[in-house]
Amino acid sequence: MTDAVIVGAGPNGLVAANMLADAGWSVTVLEAADHPGGAVRSAEVTAPGYCNDLFSAFYPLAAASPFMAALDLERWGLRWAHAPLVVTHPIGDGRVVTLSRDVDVTAASLDAFAPGDGEAWRRLVAQFERLRDDLVAALFRPFPPVTPTLRLLRELGAGDALRFARFATMPLRRWAEEEFNGVGAASLFAGNALHTDLGPDSSGAAVFGWLLCMLGQTDGFPVPVGGAQSLTDALVARLQTAGGRLVCGQAVREVVVHGGRAVAVRTVDGTEYAAERAVLAAVDAPQLFNAMVAPEHLPPRLLDDLRKFQWDNATVKVDWALGGPVPWADDRSGQSGTVHLGGDVDALTRYTGQLAVGAVPDRPYIVFGQMTTADPSRSPAGTEAAWGYTHVPQTVRSDAGSDGLTGTWDEREVQVVVDRLEAQVERFAPGFRARIAGRYVNGPLGLQQADRSLFRGALNGGSAAIHQQLIWRPVPGLGRAETPIERLYLASGSAHPGGGVHGGPGGIAARTALRDAGVLGPLRRRLVRAANRAVYR
Ligand SMILES: Cc1cc2nc3c(=O)[nH]c(=O)nc-3n(C[C@H](O)[C@H](O)[C@H](O)COP(=O)(O)OP(=O)(O)OC[C@H]3O[C@@H](n4cnc5c(N)ncnc54)[C@H](O)[C@@H]3O)c2cc1C
C-alpha cells in the first residue's frame, strides 16, 4: 500500500510524483511503456552517434513553469542549451522573419517587413514582462486563479483588462492586423500558434502565438543538453532519491472504486496497487473516463460530455541524421533551433483549412528542429540531428494531394506524408535530401503505440480550442484536477492548463491531492460534491 499511485510516467506524472514524495508521501508510479518519460524521450534511432528526440524537443514552457523550477532539476544533472537564434520562419518569397533572444535582432527583422513593427514588438515585450509573473501564476493554478487574476486586474486597470480579455478570444490574423503591418509579424505569430491545433483564423489562436513568441523572446526555446531524455532522467533520479518507486511495463487497466472513492488501480496482468490517499491519472482524459473507470461510477452527463471531447490533430513525425548542416537558402534558418516551414500566414490558413475539412495537406506546415545547432552534443561535429513533425486530420475524408490517402496510416500512407514533408524542407533548403544519412519515422499509429496517451499522435491531450480550455478542459465541470470520484485526480495534458512539457496539470493535481488530505479536506470535498451536483444534474 502506498499513499499515492500515479498512472503514467510522462512529465506530468513525474512532476506530480516528485511533489508528493517531497511532501513525505509514499508514491508508486506505474508506466505502461518500458521506459519512463512519455513524450519526453530521446534515443539513437537514426544513425550511430546521433541522439534524436522521439517526441518533444524544445522546452520554453518547462523553463517558465514554476513547478519545474521548484524541483531544481539542475541538481539532478539537467543543463539547458540554446541555439544562436530561437525561431526563423521563411515566408516563401525569399524573405525570413527571425526571433532572437536579443530583442534588437527580432525588432530589426520585423522592421524589414514593415517599419514600425519592431517598435510594436518592443511594446508587447515590455507589457509581457510587466504581466509575466502574474500570468504564469494564473496559468499554473487550479481554476479560478483568484489571487493572480486580482493582481493582473490591478496591474492592467479595468479598461486594459477588458482589452486583454478581448485579445484572449481573438483569431491571430485579425489581432496581427490590428497590431502590425507586415506579413513577417503575422507569419511569425501564426507559426508559433500552430504548435497547437489552432490556425491563424481560429478564435483564441492569438494568445497562443503571442505566449510562445514572448517566451521565445524572454527565455528562448531551450533544449536539455544530451537530449530530451536528460529532462526525464533528472525527474526520475530526483523521484527515486526522494523514495518514490517507478514501475515500467505496467499498463493500468482499471481504477478500483469503492463507495465513490478511488482506492487502487489494477494493471492488465491483474496486479492491484492499493492507494491510501490518492490516485493521480497522468493519462489522457478519454482513456481515464471511458476505459479505466467503470461507467456506473460516473455521472451520465460527464460521459455525454466526453462524447464531445475534441482531440487535436494527428501527427507524422520524422527524425533525421544529416551528414552535414541543412543547406538553407538563407543563413538565419541555419542558426535557429526551430524553423517553421510552410510559408506565410496565408499559406498556413490554407494548410489549416485543409486539416479542418479532413483533407491530408498537400503542402505541409512543419515544425523543424535543428538539435545539434541547439546542443552540439547531439551528433558528430559538422553534422545535424534534425527533428520535424506535421499534422494530418484525426479523421481523413480526402487527400489534398494526388496520392489517394485515406487515413489507414499504413507504411505507404505514412511514407507519402514523409515525402511531402521532405519536399517542403527541400523548397527552403535545396539539397536537403542529399544530406540524409538516416531516418526514423513514426506515423499516427506508431506514435500512439509508443505512448498510448498520444491518440494518433495528438500532441496536446486534446484540442487547445477556446471551447475546451479553462473551465471546459477537458469537458465542462472538470476545469480542476478533482473528478466526480473522490481521491481520483486528472493530472495529464488533457487537464488545465493543457499540453506541453511544463508539469502544470501534474503539479496542480498533486497540490490538490495534498490539500484534500489536509485539515480542510472534508470541507473541500463537500464543495466539490456540490459543484458536481450542479454540473451533472
Ligand atoms: C511529436 C511531439 C512533439 C512535441 N513537441 C513538444 C515540444 O517541443 N515542446 C513541448 O513543450 N511539448 C511538445 N509536445 C507535447 C508534450 O510532449 C506533451 O504535451 C506532454 O508530454 C504531455 O505530458 P503528459 O505527462 O501529460 O503525457 P505524456 O507525455 O503523453 O505521458 C503519458 C504517459 O502515460 C503512459 N500511459 C498511458 N496510458 C497508460 C496506462 N493505461 N497505464 C500506464 N501508463 C500509461 C504513457 O506510456 C506515457 O508514458 C510534443 C508532443 C509530441 C508527440
Are 278 and 487 in contact by the 8 Å Cβ rule? The answer is yes
Are 389 and 366 in contact by the 8 Å Cβ rule? The answer is yes
> CA dist 387 to 50, 215, 263, 369, Å?
11, 21, 42, 5
CA of 36 relative to ligand 1 center, distance in Å:
10
Q: Which helix (H) or strand (E) holds 369?
A: strand 366-370
* 85 beta partners: 336
Ligand 1 surroundings by CB, under 6 angstroms: 7-13, 30-33, 38-40, 55-59, 61, 251-252, 282-283, 287, 315, 317, 389, 447, 451-454, 457, 459-461, 492-493, 499-501
Cα gap 190→187, rounded to integer Å: 5
Which tens digit of pLDDT belongs to each residue from 306-364? 999 999 999 999 999 999 999 999 999 999 999 999 999 999 999 999 999 999 999 99
Which of 31, 459, 490, 496 to mutate for ligand 1's pocket (most ligand atoms within 8 Å of CB)?
459
Give the burial string for 163-201 (b: 16+ CB within 10 Å, else e).
ebeebbebbbbebbeebbbbbbbbbbbbbbbbbbbbbbb
Atom of ligand 1 nearest to the CA of 452: 37
Atom of ligand 1 nearest to the CA of 498: 19
CA of 7 relative to ligand 1 center, distance in Å:
12
Which of 56, 371, 447, 496 to mutate for ligand 1's pocket (most ligand atoms within 8 Å of CB)?
56
Phi, psi of 375, rounded to the nearest 5 degrees? -145, 100
CA of 40 relative to ligand 1 center, distance in Å:
7
Cα gap 430→423, rounded to integer Å: 9
Percent of the chain with pLDDT over 90: 92
Residue nearest to atom 27 of ligand 1 (CA): 10
Residue nearest to atom 22 of ligand 1 (CA): 493
What is the grid cell recorded at 466? 477556446
pTM given for the model: 0.97
**SS3 (DSSP) at 82:** coil
**260 — alpha (psi -120 to 50), left (phi > 0) or beta?**
left
DSSP state of 74: G
Are 274 and 1 in contact by the 8 Å Cβ rule? The answer is yes
SS (H, E, C) 227-291: CCHHHHHHHHHHHHHCCCEEEECCCEEEEEEECCEEEEEEECCCCEEEEEEEEEECCCHHHHHHH
Atom of ligand 1 nearest to the CA of 454: 30
Give the burial string for 216-242 (b: 16+ CB within 10 Å, else e).
bbbbbbbbbbbbbbbbbbbbbebbeeb
CA of 440 relative to ligand 1 center, distance in Å:
19
Are 247 and 30 in contact by the 8 Å Cβ rule? The answer is yes
Cα gap 142→403, rounded to integer Å: 46
Atom of ligand 1 nearest to the CA of 317: 1
Are 292 and 254 in contact by the 8 Å Cβ rule? The answer is yes
> Which stretches of the chain score pLDDT less than 50?
none
Are 443 and 414 in contact by the 8 Å Cβ rule? The answer is yes
Cβ contacts of 480 within 8 Å, gap of 6 or more? 142, 143, 496, 508, 512, 528
Cα gap 15→8, rounded to integer Å: 11
Residue nearest to atom 14 of ligand 1 (CA): 56
Atom of ligand 1 nearest to the CA of 458: 53
> CA dist 15 to 68, 140, 166, Å?
7, 13, 33
User: Which pLDDT belongs to residue 476?
Assistant: 87
Cα gap 174→238, rounded to integer Å: 45
Q: What angle do CA 464, 469, 472 make, to 5 degrees?
A: 135
How far does the chain reach from its first CA to its final CA, in angstroms? 35
